[in-house]
Amino acid sequence: MRILVTGGCGFIGAQLVSLLAERGIETRVLDNLSRGREDNLGPDVELVVGDIRDPATLARALAGIDSVIHLAAFGSVIESIADPIENFDVNARGTLVLLQACVDAGVERLVFSSTGGALIGNAEPPVDESSLPWPISPYGAGKLCGEAYLHAFAGAYGLHTTALRFANVYGPFSDHKKGAVTTFLKNAIVGDPIVIFGDGKASRDFLYVDDLCVAICSAIDADLADDVLHVASERETTVRELAELILRLAGREDLGIEHRPARRGEVVRNFAAADKARRVLGFAPVETLESGMAKTLDWFRANEARWREG
């Protein structure tokens, strides 16, 4: 098997590529390096630098490839509100261009990085594959559009597609991310107060990156032709609880927590049921939020010079 990982120089991609290498799978990476870093990859990984929206680049990257793991994305809810057109162009149109290129290149399978919370919107949790998608941000709408095109290409062209709806993923190499986990960790390390937008009661489902990467590999191996699965910890954690955990792990409970007005487009309450992923993929997360966050904090401390420069 030869696999192409789009966005492979990013946070999830870097660790996924490492896991694929450990399993002896030949892997190529396509990344435009707008946010990912080439030094996140090992020395033996083939890198094609380019954009998923460029058919010529895709033709080169897909040559000889059997399966694609599509991680490249415009990944921020808040940034999608600031620039919904760019978000659509990368996440929706970019996915469509990639799907067409996969068909042209004879690729057999594509696994897509979708999202649970942003795509489904404000619904009574736990959400699952039967929940009605009703996104409240351009980011969620773009991911829903990507899922629709996966389903269409499975039906029209026989491409085997799987959309994995990720929970809020955290872990090492996430220093470029703009979400709560990264911001809270950096503040705790440098000694700045943690800022929460809203009253702190908003909740999320946090999943350690290594557990996610195992699920992605399982989706590549599984006999799935046109499917959607939630990959989540099934544990609801409020933003306030997250902040308090990080301050406690960092030994900086003296820093305190500040509250500012809530931001539009962010889901109020979210966590997912992963029954289908357990059944179909054998999904079984290893890390608890406490153990995974401790590992992530250790990485941020050891790599402080890297993210301070960035």
Catalytic residue IDs: 139
127 secondary structure, DSSP code = B
Diameter of the chain by CA atoms? 58
Whether 218 contacts 111, CB under 8 Å: no
Whether 104 contacts 68, CB under 8 Å: no
How far is residue 262's CA from residue 306's CA, in Å, rounded to a whole number? 30
DSSP calls for 130-179 = TSPP--SSHHHHHHHHHHHHHHHHHHHH--EEEEEEE-EEE-TT-TT--S
93 secondary structure, DSSP code = I
How far is residue 310's CA from residue 300's CA, in Å, rounded to a whole number? 13
For residue 113, list its beta bridge partners. 164
CA distances from 97 to 34, 48, 51, 153, 296 (A): 19, 17, 10, 11, 35
Buried b vs exposed e over 213-250: b needs ≥16 C-beta within 10 Å? bbbbbbbbebebebbbbbbbbbebbbbbebbbbbbebb
Give the long-range contacts of residues 81-84, CB within 8 A, separation 24 or more. Answer: 81/137, 81/138, 81/264, 81/265, 84/138
83 secondary structure, DSSP code = -
* Cis ω for the linkage preceding 126 (within 30 of 0): yes
